[in-house]
Amino acid sequence: MASNIIDAKLLAKMFLAGANNLESHKEWINELNVFPVPDGDTGTNMTMTIMSAAREVAALGENPDMVTLCKAISSGSLRGARGNSGVILSQLLRGFTKALSDKTEINIEMLSDALEKGVETAYKAVMKPKEGTILTVARGGAEKARELCDDGIADMETFLQQTIEHAEYVLSQTPEMLPVLKQAGVVDSGGQGLIQVVKGAFDAYQGKEIDYSSIKPVETTGKVAQVSSSYTAQAEMDIKFGYCTEFIILLSKTFNIKHELDFKAYLESIGDSIVCVADDDVVKVHVHTNDPGLAIQKALQYGQLSNLKIDNMRLEHQEKLFKMSEKEEVATPSKPAEPPKPVGFIAVSVGDGVNEIFKSLGVDYIIEGGQTMNPSTADILEAVDKVNAENVFVLPNNKNIILAANQAAELTTDKTLLVIPTKTIPQGITAVINYVPELSVEDNEATMLEEIKNVKTGQVTYAVRDTMIDDKVIKQDDYMGIGDAGILSVGRDMKQVTVDMVSAMIDENSELISIYYGSDVAEEEAQRLNEELEGMYPDCDIELQFGGQPIYYYVISVE
């Protein structure tokens, strides 16, 4: 019989089972995308978010304590968060674990409180919460849990089952809250992802046999990373990071989750095989890096060091990964750092042509990603760390990356991170073009925020299924012109669909049309489109550039 109390060991199993169940359903969730485009990624984003935490939880072993478990779930999901759905999931988990981290065992009332805290935290993270989404499903479940708790329910299994059933009912009602879901004939994909997590967790609570093989733990068990089974075979090959570095930080000041995430992000920027386990007054650290001095220098900001050990793995590759050399214990001296410049830029981009455009405009770092792969909060933090500037502007260039960028800004402590909420590549290009070095950071931010409002963007791709959106009947393999607010054109002829899309974007104030053609479009074909648009709009300047982006044949802006 299932217990009415959940301890840390059981909660860990439930969390891993939830992650595993989401992973096994991710492709199905991807297919729930409202727009029938070939880049539906909600399931992938949520899976990568929760798996980042699951790997940390799996590394804790079979008997974790509640504090360590909650920290692993929270920090792992925050850093691994991708896409809007992934960020919201990470915030749900953040609030949930915050309410439980000081408990040793969880009863129904505590669990109800934690569900409410998770919903409260997630809603605060979204500037304009929209009902009919994962937030609505989470809130519905939390409200049912509170109702059951207040009614005095005593059986945990019944409590969990009825809470999940009500959350599923709320999910089924999301098409009534968002007409676009009803028209497309789907429920909210993020909400469906959340349901898969809690259903998997419930299976583990009931003691069902779960296959956890899809979850690979990080290299740590909480003390020292385990030797990789493949390392010996690869040891004779070139090693990217040569020094295996270990030490303990004896904390002299507060080391909260922001410090921990910042420190981990820094370590990831200079190496790999990261282990960073924080207790109340110590932090155990392991990293493979080419410059141990940098890791040491960063660590000294938080306290004194103890148990410092460094292995040159290139010289001692036949030893076990963490067997300390008696011959070499000297850290490579850190290189003097150049003074930071006032302002730097990071852009999320995909496509050789678009990447080169951003670089030519002075962007310091390109994060590869966009429609088909949303970078995580950790990816953005790593990029920020690599830009040697006091103030860093981040251009997400995709509406599904803005939340992750904002989350990175909250976690950045050593420089100012400013997110310009660009939703498309053309908006990002416009933002950079309007940057004026002589102006203050605040004035430039205000200018960029204003200028991106003047950019209309259309993107041409193909449909992966039959559906109806914006009263337009769409058949599989149709070409679609997608504007900022919906479908602008549909048809079987790509050029005609593109022309119709531009026509819907043009008004009497339009002066510039910028065309970025993708990797699947021949230059001659793009030139013919360019010539036709020149004939149609003689009063507009028209620029044709190779973008090289996948999935989208054309990305076109009108200003």
* DSSP secondary structure letters along 331-375: PPPPPPPPPPEEEEEEEEE-SHHHHHHHHHTT-SEEEE-SSS-PP
On average, the pLDDT of the chain sits at 85
| Pairing, β 512-517 against β 271-278 | unpaired
* pLDDT given at position 239: 58
pLDDT attached to residue 91: 93
Q: How confident is the model at residue 40 (pLDDT cuts 50, 70, 90)?
A: low
pLDDT in tens, 289-346: 888 888 888 888 888 887 788 877 666 544 433 333 333 334 444 445 678 899 999 9
Neighbouring CB atoms inside 10 A of 390's CB total: 14
State the Cα angle at 365 between 364 and 371, rounded to 5°: 135
Per-residue pLDDT, 392:
96
Length of the chain: 559
Q: Which helix (H) or strand (E) segment is 533 a member of?
A: helix 523-536
Minimal CA–CA distance to 29: which of 8, 56, 47? 47
Kindly tell me the number of DSSP H helices and DSSP E strands found in the chain.
21, 18
Query: Is 375 a residue whose pLDDT tops 50?
Result: yes
Report the greatest alpha carbon distance in the chain. Answer: 77
**pLDDT at residue 1 tops 60:** no
Domains of the chain: 6-205 (1.25.40.340), 219-223+237-337 (3.30.70), 341-454 (3.40.50.510), 456-558 (3.30.1180.10)
